[in-house]
Amino acid sequence: MQLQVGQRIGIVVNGEAAETGAATLAELLAELGYGEAAVATARNGEFGARAARPGPRLAAGDKVEIVAPRQGG
């Protein structure tokens, strides 16, 4: 099922329920304010390389993890 303009789906982001109108992981990152930030991502337990983020479409129920690097010890 393709996401229609204005349609929102329910997903899980970093363990919390969320609703999004984003169709891809790249769009989701932009929607959440990450833009081009250096973050690691996984969708349904599979690592998502930066170059692949515009590809696969998000689906209702997807589980997305977004991890930003932190400095410190």
pLDDT in tens, 1-47: 455 566 899 999 999 999 999 999 999 999 999 988 899 999 999 99
Is position 2 within any domain? Answer: no
Is position 20 within any domain? Answer: yes
Distance CA 72, CA 14 (A): 22
pTM, rounded to two decimals: 0.84
Is position 4 within any domain? Answer: no
Cα dihedral: 4, 7, 10, 12 (round 10): 70
**Tally of structural domains, the chain:** 1
Full residue range of the structural domain in which residue 57 is found? 9-67
Strand partners, 11: 18
The CATH number of residue 55's host domain is 3.10.20.30
Is position 48 within any domain? Answer: yes
Predicted local distance difference test score (pLDDT) of residue 5: 60
